Amino acid sequence: MSSREKIFKLLEEHYKEELETPEFIPGKTPVPVSGKFTDVEDLKYLIDASLDFWLTEGRFTDDFENGFSEFLGIKHVAPVNSGSSANLLAFSALTSDKYKDRKINKGDEVITVASGFPTTVNPIIQNGCVPVFVDCELETYNINTESMKEALSEKTKAVMIAHTLGNPFDLGEVTKFCEDNDLWLIEDSCDALGAEYNSQYVGTFGKFGTFSFYPAHHITMGEGGAVITQKKSDFKVLESFRDWGRDCWCAPGKNDTCGRRYDWQLGNLPYAYDHKYIYSHIGYNLKLTDMQSAVGVSQLKKLNTFIEKRRFNWKYLYDGLKDLEDYFYLPRATKNSNPSWFGFALTVKDTAGFSRAEIIEFLDQRLIASRFLFGGNLLWQPAYQNIQHREVGSLRNSDTVALSTFWLGVFPGLDTKMLDYIIESIHEFIKQK
């Protein structure tokens, strides 16, 4: 037995001793809203990559790129170190001169929604552009497409929005709007891996699709993310911005992939300047490590079952809570979609006779975790008080989200005993009111 095999064997013992999930006891064991759903195989992959001691992107990253592109049926995958980095990378790429008159310039407007996660919007601001905020719909928590149309101006260059909680936004309306008006679409699919619209995976409709592999997400690497795209020329721009802005596209440890390493003349550099050190963009370093990729490769094998479990759990909660429509706006899948749920959102109605604070405190005492819908109305957040922006129409629903919406977990770590306990607890709370 090789030393590697001996280590793997020991890992099985270690996993049993320290990492196996304890049996669920209602009221005693916490019911998390999300979390990593991992097994000893994931740990083996992580250790396998560590034993290679390659550390930066390597063979597992290649495997992840291939596996992820095969799953989504997309040509190119640029792995990065988080979903936020994926958003920053996707947006920044569109500021490249390579896009000529369609490139995004400082001062250009980008349509987005006010309710959501901050790093869907931040790259717009970080690149000196102007976010134009429109409202969401209750129940789907996705963009109100009528307001989106009203938001168009001569300065609009792109739409950058998320598929909220795994529920696709109206891709029919949004892609048509973008095509009709020559706008880029960046689909933040961080919470929606595996969600489909008209049987096509989200993330594959726009110029770029972004994903997160933080533990709350459909698959995890601990920290990690990816940008996907169909065109090789777009992929090269992504790689450049991700890898310090360089013009060269050699993988770590490789040289002369282009076959003319000392045969370029770019900018004001002298002819034959090493291509490895020629920079065509003001870039970042957003790469991940091979240990992260290794966990991703292992998790990817289970993605289909994870998605099905999320759908099952969402439906189970829906069936158990659908009699409570007098108290809550229940969540609803977007038309023509098959969501890959991230969470089960409830909005307390004004007429419910109780507040969101009361119900989440009740659940908290029963060790049932819940979450707000991220930043609520981002324009109420301290960080956004002085940003240059436009608001279009009323943001009434975003205000409601900030005041009255919360979501419950549907991740594969929740079993029906836990879901029954959530359903019973919510009914118990309402009975007491």
Ligand X SMILES: Cc1ncc(COP(=O)(O)O)c(C=O)c1O
Binder among 43, 89, 158, 162 for ligand X (CB under 6 A): 162
**Per annotation, catalytic residue among 76, 217, 218, 389:** 217
The minimum distance between CB 83 and ligand X, in angstroms, equals: 3
Binder among 136, 190, 238, 418 for ligand X (CB under 6 A): 190
**Which tokens belong to 9?**
């064997």
Q: Which residues are paired to 209 by β-bridges?
A: 187, 228
The minimum distance between CB 117 and ligand X, in angstroms, equals: 4
Q: How far apart are CA 69 and CA 250, in angstroms?
A: 20
Q: What is the distance, to the nearest Å, from the Cα of residue 75 to the centroid of all Cα atoms in its chain?
A: 19
The minimum distance between CB 217 and ligand X, in angstroms, equals: 7
CB 234 within 8 A of CB 97: no
End-to-end CA distance of the chain: 64
What angle, rounded to 10 degrees, do the helices at 83-93 and 232-242 form?
Answer: 120
- Of 214 and 244, which CB lies nearer to ligand X in the complex structure? 214
- Of 191 and 196, which CB lies nearer to ligand X in the complex structure? 191
**Which tokens belong to 146?**
């009528």
CB 119 within 8 A of CB 87: yes
- Give the residue closest to ligand X by C-beta: 83
| DSSP states along 15-27 | IIIIISPPPP-TT
Compute how many residues bind ligand X; rule: CB under 6 A. Answer: 15
Instruction: Give the burial string for 362-372 (b: 16+ CB within 10 Å, else e).
Output: bbeebbbbbbe
The minimum distance between CB 89 and ligand X, in angstroms, equals: 12
Q: Which residues are paired to 11 by β-bridges?
A: none
- Of 54 and 214, which CB lies nearer to ligand X in the complex structure? 214
Q: How far apart are CA 78 and CA 57, in angstroms?
A: 11
The minimum distance between CB 370 and ligand X, in angstroms, equals: 16
Q: How far apart are CA 49 and CA 56, in angstroms?
A: 10
Q: How many residues does the chain have?
A: 433
217 is catalytic: yes
> Is there binding between residue 212 and ligand X (CB under 6 A)?
yes
Binder among 42, 191, 234, 290 for ligand X (CB under 6 A): 191
Q: Which stretch in 26-34, 96-104, 175-183, 208-216 sits in contact with ligand X by CB under 6 A?
A: 208-216
- Of 215 and 393, which CB lies nearer to ligand X in the complex structure? 215
In sequence order, the 6+-apart residues with CB closer than 8 A to the CB of 9 are 1
What is residue 271's DSSP assignment? T
- Of 119 and 299, which CB lies nearer to ligand X in the complex structure? 119
The minimum distance between CB 211 and ligand X, in angstroms, equals: 9
Write the binding mask 280 to 319 for ligand X: x where contact by CB under 6 A, - elsewhere: ----------------------------------------
Q: How far apart are CA 207 and CA 91, in angstroms?
A: 10
The minimum distance between CB 168 and ligand X, in angstroms, equals: 13
Identify residues 72-131 at the interface with ligand X (CB under 6 A).
82-84, 87, 117, 119-120
User: Please, how many CA atoms are within 13 Å of residue 31, restricted to the half-sphere of its CB?
Assistant: 27
Strands 184-188 and 156-162: parallel
E-state strands within 143-231: 156-162, 184-188, 196-197, 200-201, 208-212, 225-229
Binder among 123, 222, 225, 339 for ligand X (CB under 6 A): 225
Q: Which stretch in 168-176, 186-194, 326-334, 406-414 sits in contact with ligand X by CB under 6 A?
A: 186-194
The minimum distance between CB 238 and ligand X, in angstroms, equals: 17
Write the binding mask 26 to 55 for ligand X: x where contact by CB under 6 A, - elsewhere: ------------------------------
Identify residues 388-417 at the interface with ligand X (CB under 6 A).
none
- Mapping DSSP to helix (H, G, I), strand (E, B) and coil, where does residue 137 land? coil
**Which tokens belong to 349?**
């109605």
In the complex, which residues of this chain contact ligand X (CB under 6 A)? 82-84, 87, 117, 119-120, 162, 188, 190-191, 212, 214, 216, 225
- Residues marked active site are found at 217
